[in-house]
Chain A
């Protein structure tokens, strides 16, 4: 019986020739990432609950401070210090203020075919490079860090065959939000979302990141785009090896197969308070905004910053709107500086922040107040996600977010 990409990755990590969906396997983890959202809890458990504290292989562990950076109060400063001290004592790689954790992992570590645990729900992003990344809590992370392994249930796979190309002005973010709207916020619960077809291979690594990153918003364990030459090129250009470009066998068993014609996708908005509450932009009633945010692990990369700059050139952010931009990493930030993008953003009146999670997670920067409305390229629009419990978050593409910042209400660039 053939295997899916997810099955092949788990079989490799379990050291067995074959696995099937539904089986539970003990696996060796290729890599582990934890950020300042919960690492302090892991460290506390490590010191207080273990009889024999040790780390199986520090070279496989990465700590990244990205949720509250720079620290905004003594409590988060203490969290960062705890991470810094622990990383130094145990020889763990530590990144502070260099970018959003998933962006840094893709830029610096992830290899195709790897099984990676991250103490963050959007670890599913690593499928952009054909890896199996999945989010876990701090106890699972601790167990992985100490033993080098864990257990996983092999997920069933939902296969998404993508055909053709997105029209101009339509982005991968519109595609994945459309898919989540179609299958629902638990439509892929416990499952792997596998993307393939000529439409998937036509997407850049940047665009694949956007798709895989939001897989968890449909409940998925991970999202993986079938890796190809583009992945190999990306990984090798960064001095890493692309040894395991797994694809699903022709006779692999998929729970369900979906077909999407990319040229039929249109700009959409996820309305409050659920990511699957999708409305086509053209049907959205008039919604005034107080704040617009471009950034997060989903959408703060160079492609999106270029889109924003092209819309803002010669225009101004509306007086009553705060437009906050946070590049996904310093590498992205430097590239944007070189291209003059940052000049364009600042001249238009945007606030450009350091590379971090920023507005997306409702702490640190750009928190919204009572009854305020945010349009965002962030990952979630849950009730109170970005600030006060009466505030509202709409999710849209970088183009819609930027155009809305100029207009003062949610709209696309063509109406400016």
Chain B
């Protein structure tokens, strides 16, 4: 995976799935219809401000709550290049990888200002504010899923089972 640079949006701890996409919008027909409401209970303007290639940086326990897979899908559909958080809730973590959304675990949040540009070298490091933050690579089986663009595509590539 090649390096990339993006603008940072800062979110706090415990960003739950009801904040990422509130229940009342789950009945909309497609994820593209839903994505304008992403993060609306917390920051209603945010979904309209995020541009493709931007990066979300958050605190601990990102994605806690429901198993609704629309949550990582919406973040991916907004064009977010990756999420960098101190830690993730496990169902969200699995769902994100299964949908081809890159997640990085790194305690970057407290050192950044919103709007800063940072450069990510996947599996290696993050350059931010003149400092370098080491990051560990994902296990190979998860990387395979991510690089294929999600679980279904990865399995089709691997064994045609699906």
Of all chain B residues, which has the CB nearest A389? Answer: B41
The reply on B127 being an interface residue by CB < 8 A is no
Interface string of B11-32 (1 = CB under 8 A from A): 0001010110011101111000
- Check B42 against A142 for contact (C-beta < 8 Å): no
- Check B161 against A147 for contact (C-beta < 8 Å): yes
The reply on B38 being an interface residue by CB < 8 A is no
Enumerate chain B residues within 8 angstroms of A361, measured Cβ to Cβ: 23
| Cα–Cα distance between A68 and B155 once the two chains are bound (Å) | 33
- Check A136 against B61 for contact (C-beta < 8 Å): no
The reply on A363 being an interface residue by CB < 8 A is yes
Taking the closest CB of chain A, its distance from the CB of B106, in whole angstroms, is 16
The reply on B91 being an interface residue by CB < 8 A is yes
- Check A139 against B69 for contact (C-beta < 8 Å): yes
- Check B40 against A389 for contact (C-beta < 8 Å): yes
Taking the closest CB of chain A, its distance from the CB of B82, in whole angstroms, is 18
The reply on B74 being an interface residue by CB < 8 A is no
The reply on A86 being an interface residue by CB < 8 A is no
- Check A142 against B152 for contact (C-beta < 8 Å): yes
Enumerate chain A residues within 8 angstroms of B68, measured Cβ to Cβ: 37-38, 137
The reply on B130 being an interface residue by CB < 8 A is no
The reply on B162 being an interface residue by CB < 8 A is yes
- Check A189 against B87 for contact (C-beta < 8 Å): yes
| Cα–Cα distance between A407 and B64 once the two chains are bound (Å) | 33
- Check B87 against A186 for contact (C-beta < 8 Å): yes
Given A121-B66, A389-B40, the answer on whether A135 and B91 have CB atoms closer than 8 Å is yes
| Cα–Cα distance between A73 and B24 once the two chains are bound (Å) | 12
Of A49, A52, A136, the contact of B160 (CB 8 Å cutoff): A52
Enumerate chain B residues within 8 angstroms of A76, measured Cβ to Cβ: 27
Enumerate chain A residues within 8 angstroms of B42, measured Cβ to Cβ: 383
Given A120-B67, A139-B150, A362-B22, the answer on whether A52 and B162 have CB atoms closer than 8 Å is yes
Q: B interface, how many residues as a size bin?
A: 35 or more
The reply on A380 being an interface residue by CB < 8 A is yes
- Check B18 against A380 for contact (C-beta < 8 Å): yes
Given A119-B67, A135-B67, the answer on whether A219 and B90 have CB atoms closer than 8 Å is yes
Of all chain A residues, which has the CB nearest B160? Answer: A51
Enumerate chain A residues within 8 angstroms of B89, measured Cβ to Cβ: 186, 189, 219
| Cα–Cα distance between A121 and B162 once the two chains are bound (Å) | 25
Of B64, B67, B150, the contact of A185 (CB 8 Å cutoff): B64
Interface stretch (choices B1-9, B45-53, B93-101, B118-126): B93-101
| Cα–Cα distance between A151 and B119 once the two chains are bound (Å) | 32
- Check B18 against A384 for contact (C-beta < 8 Å): yes
- Check B27 against A385 for contact (C-beta < 8 Å): no
| Cα–Cα distance between A143 and B68 once the two chains are bound (Å) | 16
Taking the closest CB of chain B, its distance from the CB of A234, in whole angstroms, is 26
Enumerate chain B residues within 8 angstroms of A384, measured Cβ to Cβ: 18-19, 22, 41
| Cα–Cα distance between A41 and B70 once the two chains are bound (Å) | 9
- Check B95 against A140 for contact (C-beta < 8 Å): yes
| Complex interface residues of chain A between 35 and 63 (CB less than 8 A to chain B) | 37-38, 41, 45, 49-52
The reply on A24 being an interface residue by CB < 8 A is yes
- Check A274 against B90 for contact (C-beta < 8 Å): no
The reply on A382 being an interface residue by CB < 8 A is yes
Given A37-B68, A38-B69, A75-B27, the answer on whether A137 and B18 have CB atoms closer than 8 Å is no
| Cα–Cα distance between A362 and B160 once the two chains are bound (Å) | 40
Taking the closest CB of chain A, its distance from the CB of B160, in whole angstroms, is 7
| Cα–Cα distance between A153 and B22 once the two chains are bound (Å) | 29
Enumerate chain A residues within 8 angstroms of B156, measured Cβ to Cβ: 51
Q: Which of B23, B24, B156, B160 has the most CB of A within 10 A?
A: B23
The reply on A138 being an interface residue by CB < 8 A is yes
- Check A24 against B141 for contact (C-beta < 8 Å): yes
Q: Which of B24, B29, B88 has the most CB of A within 10 A?
A: B24
| Complex interface residues of chain B between 75 and 95 (CB less than 8 A to chain A) | 87-91, 94-95
| Cα–Cα distance between A250 and B90 once the two chains are bound (Å) | 28
Taking the closest CB of chain B, its distance from the CB of A364, in whole angstroms, is 9
Enumerate chain A residues within 8 angstroms of B91, measured Cβ to Cβ: 121, 135-137, 216
The reply on A146 being an interface residue by CB < 8 A is yes
The reply on B65 being an interface residue by CB < 8 A is yes
Of all chain B residues, which has the CB nearest A42? Answer: B69
| Cα–Cα distance between A362 and B22 once the two chains are bound (Å) | 9
Enumerate chain A residues within 8 angstroms of B29, measured Cβ to Cβ: 75
- Check B161 against A52 for contact (C-beta < 8 Å): yes
A interface, CB within 8 angstroms of B: 24, 37-38, 41, 45, 49-52, 68, 73, 75-76, 79, 119-121, 135-140, 142-143, 146-147, 151, 185-186, 189-190, 216, 219, 221, 274, 361-363, 380, 382-385, 389
Known: A140-B94, A186-B14, A389-B41. 15 other contacts (CB 8 A): A37-B26, A49-B152, A75-B27, A119-B67, A121-B91, A137-B72, A139-B150, A143-B151, A147-B162, A185-B14, A185-B64, A189-B90, A216-B91, A380-B16, A389-B22
Can you name 21 A-B pairs with beta carbons within 8 Å?
A24-B141, A38-B67, A41-B70, A45-B152, A49-B162, A51-B156, A75-B27, A75-B28, A79-B27, A136-B94, A137-B72, A185-B14, A186-B60, A186-B89, A190-B90, A219-B61, A219-B64, A362-B23, A363-B23, A380-B18, A384-B22
